Amino acid sequence: ELTLDDLLKDLPIPNRPGALVPPRLPPYFGTIDRERRARMIEECARGGKLASTIQQIWIPLFTLPPPPSYIPQDVFMAKMKEAIETRFRDTISAVQKIRGRGGKVVFVRLPVSGGLKTLEDQTTPRNQTWDPLLKGTGAPGIYFEDYPDLASFSCPEWSHLSAGDSVEFSKRLVPHLRAALKM
């Protein structure tokens, strides 16, 4: 939008003592089509300035801040571990409820690329996140890198597929979903 209020929200305000500014959110780069599917706008899908701008937002947005100075490092790490374990327990419970109602669950790891993939591999390694998730829930999973027909997609801004690629990815994903669900 080009209203003054919206433009003021986008002013870059630097961090200052006692007031950390949250990372910027990416600008609008998608639209919803008549079938209610989200679609990346062509300006972003082509690569270039918009995609590059968004790429530079993902890294600070998904980089954890340092622990507060008033909390000892070991206490902070213990709290983080507890929060992660709670999230896993909640997810296991949710999957059990879905199954209890006759539902089926398949976890799908969608493509990411570039610097965001590098950051995710460093901060949330697969053997500490994806593998325990599948083991704890007993649900099947489709991790895009495990399937050559899904692994070849590249995200223009590192996190989302272009409109055309999203359709092609979905077509290629369906047989893997059918196999995982034994359909």
3-state DSSP assignment of residue 107: strand
pLDDT of the chain, 183 residues: tens digit per residue = 568 887 777 777 777 777 767 766 777 788 888 888 888 888 888 888 888 988 988 888 888 878 888 999 999 989 989 999 999 999 999 999 999 999 999 999 999 999 999 999 999 999 999 999 999 999 999 999 999 999 999 999 999 999 999 999 999 999 999 999 998
- Residues forming beta bridges with residue 19, ordered by sequence position: 16
Query: How many structural domains is the chain composed of?
Result: 1
Rg (CA), the chain: 20
Q: At what angle do helices 114-123 and 49-62 cross, to 10 degrees?
A: 10
pTM: 0.81
In which domain, by residue range, is 34 found?
A: 4-180
